[in-house]
Structure 1
Amino acid sequence: MPEQSTPSIPSIPSMPSKLSTASTGSGGPDPSAPSRPPAAPAPPTRALRLLRAAGLVSNFDRFCIAPMLVLIAGPLGTGLSTMALAAGVYYLTYGLMQPAWGLASDRMGRIRVLRLSLAAGSLAAALSALAPNAPLLIVARALSGACFAACIPATLSHIGDVVPAERRQRPLTDLMTAFSLGTALGTVTAGVLAHYAGWRLVFALPALLAGYLWHALRHLPEPARRPSGSPLLAPFRVVLATPWMWYVMAVALLEGAVLLGFLTYLAPALEARGVPAPVAGAVSALYGVGAMACAQLVKKLVGRWSPTALIVAGGAQAGAAYALAAVSRSELALAVTALLLGTGWSFLHTTVQAWATAVTPAARATGVAMFGVSLYGGSALAGGLTAGAAGHHAYGGIFLAAALLTIPLTLAAAIGRARYRCSPAA
C-alpha cells in the first residue's frame, strides 16, 4: 500500500494567521477560495441507519453487564468479585481487538468485516445468554468484546470513506449519538429487565439484533478501496509514520482518561453516600442523555463554528462538570455533572473523532482503531491510577484531578486541530 503523504507538526511560532471559520471537524477548505468542488452525494439514509444501529447494539452489549453483576452472581453461585471479571475481560478484549479489526477492515472492506463481526458477536452474545456457570460466562463475554469491537473502526471508517471531509462531522455525530443511546439503554434498562425478566434475556437481545443486522447489511455497497497488494502490516506502517496521528492518539489518551475513566466514579460516589444502586446508575446514565440531547445542536453548529471552537466549548463543559463534582457529591450535583459530561462529549469527542478519520486516509480504519486503543487506554490508565483513592472514597480529590486534566486536554486538542490541515485525499 503506498504511504500517504501527510503534513508534519509545525512549530508553535508558525501558527497560520488565518483559520477557516467554516471548516468542520475534519478540516474543511479555506472559505477564501474562489470556488468549491461539487459535494459528493450523501450516502443512503437506510445505510446510515444500519451503521448507527450496529454502533448502538455494540455499546448496549458492552455496558449491559455492569448493572446485572449482583443479579447474575446469585443464580450462578459465585461472588461479585468473580462476576466482575466478566465485565473486565470484555473491556480488555474490546480494546485489544481494535487494531486487528481496523487492519482487517482496511484490507477486506468495511461492510464485510462489520458483517463478520456482527455474526460472531451474535453467537457470542447467545452463548452468554445460555452460559450455565461463571467460567463459561466469562469466556463468552470475552468473545463478545472481541467481536463487537469491530463496530467502531468499521462504521467510522465507512463514513470517512463515503462522506466528504467538509460534511463528515454531522453523520459522525449521529453515529456517536447512537453509541450514547446504546450506552444509556445498556446502563438503565439492563438492570430493570434483569430484575423482572431475567438476566439471560438481556444478553439475548444483542444476539438477536446483531443477527438481524448481519442479514440487513448484506446489500450495503462496499466503499471503493485501494488494491491490497501491499504487505499485511502496511496500514500500521502508514499510521505510525504519520506525526499527526501520534499527536491525535496523545489527545485521545487524555480524552479517554477525562471523559471515560473518571466518569466511572459517578455512581460509586453516590453509593458511598448511601444512595441506592439503581438511583446511582440512573444518574450515571444521564451522561448518555446529555450526549444525545446535545448531538443535534452540535450538528447545527458544524460549519458555523470552527473545530477549535467546538473543542473549547466541550472542554469547558467537562471542566465545569468535574469542578462541580469536586465541590459536591449530592444527587443533584452529580446529575448535572453527568449531563455536562455528556454534552461536553458531543462537542469535544465528535470533533476529535472526525479529525482522526482524516489523518491517514490510506489506512483510515487502522488509524481509527489506534485512536480507539489510545482512548480506552487512557480510560484504563485513569482507573488504575485512581483505584487507591477510590478505595478510600476520596472522590472529591479524584474529581478535582479530572477538572485540572481538562485544561491540558482542551489546550492540546484545540491548538493541534487549529494547526492541522487535512490532505486532499482525506
Structure 2
Amino acid sequence: MTSATAPGATHSISPATRRSILLLSCATFSSMVAQRICDAMLPELSRVFAVSLAQAAQVVSVFAVTYGVSQLFYGPLGDRLGKFRIVTFAALGCSVGSAVAVFATSLDVLLLARIMMALGAAALIPLAMAWVGDAVPPHELQEMLTRTGLGSTLGIVCGQLLGGLLTDALGWRWAFAFLVLLFGAVGSLLLGDLRRQQAVPKAEAAPTDQAPVPRPHFVKQALLIISHPWSRTILLLAVIEGAVGFGVLAMWASHLHHALGLSLSVSGAIVALFGLGGVGYMIVGRALIPRLGQHGLVLLGGSLVGIGALALAYIPHWGPAIPASLIAGFGFFMFHNVMQANATQMAPEARGTAVSMFASFLFLGQSIGVVLAAALIDRIGTHAVVALGGGVMAAEGVYFAWALRRRSAALFAGQRGMA
C-alpha cells in the first residue's frame, strides 16, 4: 500500500514465473493466429471447393461457435485439473487439428479440422490469463496481463497477414502447415515448463498449486450473473461487438480482394493493420483512460471503427485503406478495453465465470456476424456489408456511452442517498 512495497516489486516475480508467462503469451498469440488465419483465404477456399463465399465462411463461423461454447467449461476444468496443464495439452491438440486441415480433401473435412482447432484454442487465452492472475502479485498483475494480451493482439496481425501471404505464395494448405509447426513448438515448450513446475517441491510451488477455494456450482454462478441488469447489458453488447467487430472483420480481406482487385497477400496485410492499431492503443491507452473516461473511450472508439469501415468500404483506391484499417483497429480496442473492464466487474463474487460468459457471448456474436455478413454479401455487396458493420459499431458506442453515464449517475445518487 505504501512506497515500501515498491523496492521489491520488480523482483517479486521469479525468472521461472516470467518464463512461464512468456510461454503463455506465445500460446495466446497462437490461439489468435488460428482464429484469424482463414479470413484472407476465404475467396481461395470458395474457388478450390467450388462453394459460395457464404459456405466458405463456415471455416470462420464454426471456429467461433466452438470457441465460444467451449469457454463455458474450460474455467471449471482448469480449476480442477490445473490451468497450465490444460493450456499445454490444448496447444498440442491444436497441432493435431491443424494437421487434419492440411490434408482436408473437402470443405466438410476442413470444417471438422477447424472444430478440433477451436476446441484447443479456446482454452489458451482465458486460462493463460487466469494462471497469471493466480501466480502474480496484485501490484504487478496489470503489467503481466498486458504482456499476455499483447500476444493475442499480435496474433490478429500475424493471422491476417500470414493467411493471405501463404495462400498466395504456396497455397492454403501451407497456412495450416505453419500452424502445425507453431502449435507443436509452443506446446512442446509448455510441456517442458509444466514438467519443471511439477518438479518444484510443494512448499515452493506457485499459488496455482494450492487447493482451489470452494465456489458455487457453475449454473448457480451463471444465474447469479444474468440476474443483474447491468450484466445482461454487457453480455448483449458483447454479442453485438463480436458480430459487427470481429465477425464482419472476416469479410474485409474478401472485400479488398473483390472490390479493388488486390491479391490475397496485400488484402491480408492491410487488414492485419487492424490488429496493429490495437497494439497502438495498448501503448497510449494509459494516457487516454483518465482523460476521456470510460464513456469517452467507447464513444470515440465506436466512431473511429465506423469512420475506418466507411472509408475502407467506399474509397475506390487501396491507399486510404491502410490508415482506415489502423484507425478502425485503434478504435475497436479502445472500445473493447472498456468492455473487458466492465466484464470483470459484472459479478465480483463470481468473476471467473463472468469473464468466461463474456468471452462466450463475444465469440458467439462473432459467429453470428460471419454468417450474416457472408449471406448479405450476395444481396447487397461487400461495400454495404463492411460499411454496415462499422455503422452498427458506431451506434453501439453511442449507446454504451449513454448507458455508462446513466449507471454512473445512478451509483452517485445511491451513494448520496446513503450519506
Q: Given the two structures, how large is their TM-score scaled by the length of structure 1? A: 0.75
CA contact (8 A) 2:294 2:404 kept: no
Of Structure 1 and Structure 2, which has the larger fraction of its residues in helix? Answer: 2
Question: In the alignment, which residue of structure 1 is the partner of 2:50?
Answer: 79
Question: In the alignment, which residue of structure 1 is the partner of 2:259?
Answer: 273
Shift of the 158–37 alpha-carbon distance from structure 1 to 2, 3 Å rule, reads farther
Deviations 1:169-193 (A, max 9, x none): 5444433332222122122123322
| 222-231 vs 361-370, greater mean Cα deviation | 222-231
Does 2:273 correspond to 1:286? yes
Distance 2:215 2:391 in 1: 51
Specify the SS of the correspondent of 1:140.
helix
- 1:236 pairs with one of 188, 199, 222: 222
Specify the SS of the correspondent of 1:65.
coil
Shift of the 269–365 alpha-carbon distance from structure 1 to 2, 3 Å rule, reads same
- Superposed displacement of residue 385, structure 1: 5.1
Distance 1:244 1:165 in 2: 26
Deviations 1:323-381 (A, max 9, x none): 54576454234333211121113322123223323444554432222111221233344
- One-letter amino acid of the structure 2 residue matched with residue 409 of structure 1: F
- Superposed displacement of residue 272, structure 1: 4.5
- 2:399 pairs with one of 404, 408, 421: 408
Distance 2:256 2:160 in 1: 16
Question: In the alignment, which residue of structure 1 is the partner of 2:152?
Answer: 179
Question: In the alignment, which residue of structure 2 is the partner of 1:393?
Answer: 381
Question: In the alignment, which residue of structure 2 is the partner of 1:27?
Answer: none
Question: In the alignment, which residue of structure 1 is the partner of 2:308?
Answer: 321
CA contact (8 A) 2:304 2:327 kept: yes
- Superposed displacement of residue 58, structure 1: 0.7
Specify the SS of the correspondent of 1:67.
coil
Does 2:67 correspond to 1:94? yes
Distance 1:102 1:306 in 2: 31
Distance 2:375 2:41 in 1: 24
Question: In the alignment, which residue of structure 2 is the partner of 1:374?
Answer: 361
Q: Flag the structure with more relative contact order, 1 or 2, with Cα contacts below 8 A and sequence separation at least 6.
A: 1
Distance 1:182 1:116 in 2: 20
CA contact (8 A) 1:307 1:418 kept: no
CA contact (8 A) 1:59 1:182 kept: yes
CA contact (8 A) 2:67 2:119 kept: yes
Distance 1:402 1:305 in 2: 19
Specify the SS of the correspondent of 1:149.
helix
CA contact (8 A) 1:169 1:350 kept: no
- 1:63 pairs with one of 24, 31, 36: 36
Shift of the 389–134 alpha-carbon distance from structure 1 to 2, 3 Å rule, reads closer
Shift of the 376–134 alpha-carbon distance from structure 1 to 2, 3 Å rule, reads closer
Shift of the 242–42 alpha-carbon distance from structure 1 to 2, 3 Å rule, reads farther
Q: Given the two structures, how large is their TM-score scaled by the length of structure 2? A: 0.76
Question: In the alignment, which residue of structure 1 is the partner of 2:203?
Answer: none
- Superposed displacement of residue 143, structure 1: 1.0
Gapped regions of structure 1 (runs ≥ 5): 1-33, 422-426
Alignment coverage as a number of residue pairs: 386
Question: In the alignment, which residue of structure 2 is the partner of 1:211?
Answer: 184
- One-letter amino acid of the structure 1 residue matched with residue 394 of structure 2: A
Question: In the alignment, which residue of structure 2 is the partner of 1:29?
Answer: none
Does 2:97 correspond to 1:124? yes
Q: Percent same amino acid among aligned pairs?
A: 26
Distance 1:196 1:272 in 2: 18
| 188-197 vs 280-289, greater mean Cα deviation | 188-197
Specify the SS of the correspondent of 1:393.
helix
- One-letter amino acid of the structure 2 residue matched with residue 254 of structure 1: I
Distance 2:232 2:31 in 1: 27
Distance 1:284 1:268 in 2: 10
- Superposed displacement of residue 53, structure 1: 0.9
Question: In the alignment, which residue of structure 2 is the partner of 1:259?
Answer: 245
| 283-292 vs 331-340, greater mean Cα deviation | 331-340
Specify the SS of the correspondent of 1:331.
coil
- One-letter amino acid of the structure 1 residue matched with residue 169 of structure 2: Y
- Superposed displacement of residue 303, structure 1: 6.7
Deviations 1:186-221 (A, max 9, x none): 221233224434443322333333233334331454
Matches within 5 A, 1:151-230: 151-162=124-135, 168-217=141-190, 218=194, 219=196, 221=206, 223=208, 226-228=212-214
Distance 1:85 1:185 in 2: 21
Question: In the alignment, which residue of structure 2 is the partner of 1:352?
Answer: 339
CA contact (8 A) 2:343 2:358 kept: yes
- 2:78 pairs with one of 105, 124, 141: 105
